[in-house]
């Protein structure tokens, strides 16, 4: 972890960079795979599953027998933990429901807004070295609350052609419609275009590596919406001498172990704390099963010493972290001043892991600085707002003249006529 002391503004751009490849580096590969799957469907998907996942499949669809086997293989303790998390996630997202908004903007002009669920959605669940069954909860639970009719899930198979039991159990528990053994770019392309086996969807959700992120962005060119650009995980901790160094180190490592392209940042007004945290990182990392991954991520990460809280906050808002932990003497300064963050964790006893699993908030969050303009996944992510209006005769008389004048000023005579014809009848 590199120590940077009191950086000047002219080096901030370098400090804000993430250790990821540029879109140009991987867009060619993604585009080629998209074209192949658009033209050849299942055949192309199976080919890339063999190439990238190292397994030849006869069928991508997970069978009911496989789901039953997975249910039996998941321990009762883990099932209890998943049920507890599901309950909390459900409670938090149920609370996000909004009522119909209705208002008479002018006498006789009634306008209202109602939410409608997105009918067909696709969930991408990373597998690989860490099968993220917790992400199934974060996506499928609010999707069911919103009322999505078709929920398909894609996740990469292992070398044995299987999806992790925990993912299958959780997906079935949460009401996923169909589960497919497909990962990476090919999964996003299949959900975009549809194949003989996989139906196309209207919106794709879920995190992934840099290839998945670019694939999701490419999907938008073909009329498919995405939740957000969500790439490699990241965490920023702001801490001073009131923080517990071993807690800070544990939090930093919790994100570093996600992947070698993850990034963690420590911002502090205390060099003493930074030194103690670095020592703790070395001690704790040596005990981790995924220490080789965490070590690479830590090498791409930084500890930044600043002179005051104001400078810290300015840097944090510029960095716009996915996860933001606040552990200072004056937490309110940061919680009230933060403008750009995916999710915020406050105090010595609020680990980021809580949000990843069981507190109830959603862990599917914008990365790579996109929290400047994107929210994390929430209930509204699974619906769209439709506006309605009904105008009476009195209402049209009240606003008709304004519409005519505005339409004429824009040179749109037919727009004006649509009102003028009606007004003439009413006035006669």
- Angle at 291 (CA atoms; ends 288, 297), nearest 5 degrees: 130
Annotated catalytic, 322? yes
Annotated catalytic, 149? no
- Angle at 315 (CA atoms; ends 347, 251), nearest 5 degrees: 35
Which three-class secondary structure state does DSSP give residue 51? helix
Which three-class secondary structure state does DSSP give residue 55? coil
- Whole-angstrom distance between the N-terminal and C-terminal Cα of the chain? 80
Closest to 176 (Cα-Cα) out of 331, 67, 42, 78: 67
* Catalytic one of 93, 166, 280, 323: 323
Which three-class secondary structure state does DSSP give residue 392? coil
Identify the H or E element spanning 181: strand 178-181
Length of the chain in residues, anyone?
428
* Catalytic one of 166, 276, 322, 352: 322
Which three-class secondary structure state does DSSP give residue 108? coil
Identify the H or E element spanning 323: strand 323-327
- Residues sharing a CB contact under 8 Å with residue 286, sequence separation 6 or more, in sequence order: none
Q: Is residue 368 within 8 Å of residue 229, measured between CB atoms?
A: yes
Catalytic residues: 322-323
């Amino acid at each position: 972890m590199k120590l940077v002391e009191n950086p000047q503004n002219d080096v901030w751009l370098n400090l804000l960079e993430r250790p990821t490849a540029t879109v140009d580096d991987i867009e060619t590969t993604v585009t080629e795979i998209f074209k192949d799957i658009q033209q050849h469907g299942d055949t192309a998907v199976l080919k890339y599953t063999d190439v990238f996942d190292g397994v030849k499949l006869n069928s991508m669809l997970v069978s009911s027998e496989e789901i039953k086997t997975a249910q039996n293989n998941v321990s009762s303790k883990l099932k209890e933990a998943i049920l507890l998390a599901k309950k909390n996630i459900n409670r938090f997202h149920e609370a996000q429901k909004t009522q119909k908004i209705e208002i008479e903007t002018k006498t006789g002009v009634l306008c209202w807004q109602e939410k409608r669920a997105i009918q067909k959605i696709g969930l991408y669940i990373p597998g690989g070295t860490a099968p993220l069954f917790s992400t199934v909860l974060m996506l499928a639970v609010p999707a069911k609350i919103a009322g999505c009719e078709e929920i398909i899930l894609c996740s990469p198979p292992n070398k044995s052609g299987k999806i992790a039991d925990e993912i299958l159990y959780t997906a079935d528990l949460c009401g996923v419609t169909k589960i497919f053994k497909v990962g990476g770019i090919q999964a996003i392309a299949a959900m975009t275009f549809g194949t003989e086996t996989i139906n196309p969807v209207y919106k794709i959700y879920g995190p992934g590596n840099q290839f998945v992120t670019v694939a999701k962005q490419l999907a938008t060119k073909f009329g498919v919406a995405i939740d957000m650009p969500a790439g490699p995980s990241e965490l920023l901790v702001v801490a001073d001498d009131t923080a517990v160094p071993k807690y800070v180190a544990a939090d930093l490592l919790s994100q570093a172990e996600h992947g070698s392209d993850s990034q963690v940042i420590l911002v502090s007004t205390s060099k003493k704390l930074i030194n103690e945290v670095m020592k703790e990182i070395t001690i704790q990392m040596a005990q981790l099963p995924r220490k080789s991954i965490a070590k690479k991520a830590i090498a791409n990460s930084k500890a930044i010493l600043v002179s005051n809280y104001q400078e810290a906050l300015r840097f944090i808002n510029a960095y716009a972290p996915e996860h933001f932990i606040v552990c200072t003497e004056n937490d309110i300064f940061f919680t009230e001043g933060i403008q750009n963050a995916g999710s915020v964790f406050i105090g010595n006893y609020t680990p980021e892991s809580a949000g990843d699993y069981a507190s109830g908030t959603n862990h599917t969050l914008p990365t790579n600085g996109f929290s400047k303009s994107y929210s994390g996944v929430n209930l509204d992510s699974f619906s769209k707002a439709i506006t309605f209006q009904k105008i009476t005769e009195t209402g049209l008389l009240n606003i008709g003249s304004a519409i005519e004048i505005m339409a004429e000023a824009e040179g749109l005579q037919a727009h004006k006529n649509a009102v003028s014809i009606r007004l003439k009848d009413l006035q006669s």
